[in-house]
């Protein structure tokens, strides 16, 4: 399992996000400090945003938005790939 984990890490790309632009793009949708995470997920065209931050990423406001990615907890993600 550890070898597979390290093989998967090779496919991860780190991106940089302009915080100011992210805060403007997602104004009134999510707290300012979390906007770059949401914006980065959009920019890299991810399929999933995997987070434990239920307080900020599982709000009614975000649930109503149509994102090109799914916001999911790590546990739910693991269950979805069985």
> What pTM, to 2 d.p., does this model score?
0.79
Q: How confident is the model at residue 9 (pLDDT cuts 50, 70, 90)?
A: confident
User: 17-46 pLDDT, tens per residue?
Assistant: 999 999 999 998 999 999 999 999 999 999
Q: What DSSP letter does each residue of 6-72 carry, written as one string?
A: HHHHTT-------HHHHHHHTTTTS-GGGHHHHHHHHHTT-SEEE-S-HHHHS-HHHHHS--SSEEE
Identify whether the C-beta of residue 17 lies closer than 8 Å to the C-beta of residue 34: no
């Amino acid at each position: 399992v550890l070898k597979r984990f390290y093989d998967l890490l090779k496919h991860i790309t780190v991106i940089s996000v302009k915080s100011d632009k992210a805060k403007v793009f997602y104004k009134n949708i999510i707290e300012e400090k979390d906007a770059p995470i949401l914006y980065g997920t959009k920019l890299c065209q991810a399929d999933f945003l995997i987070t434990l931050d239920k307080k900020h990423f599982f709000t009614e406001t975000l649930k109503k938005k149509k994102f090109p990615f799914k916001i999911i907890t790590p546990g739910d993600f693991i269950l979805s790939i069985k």
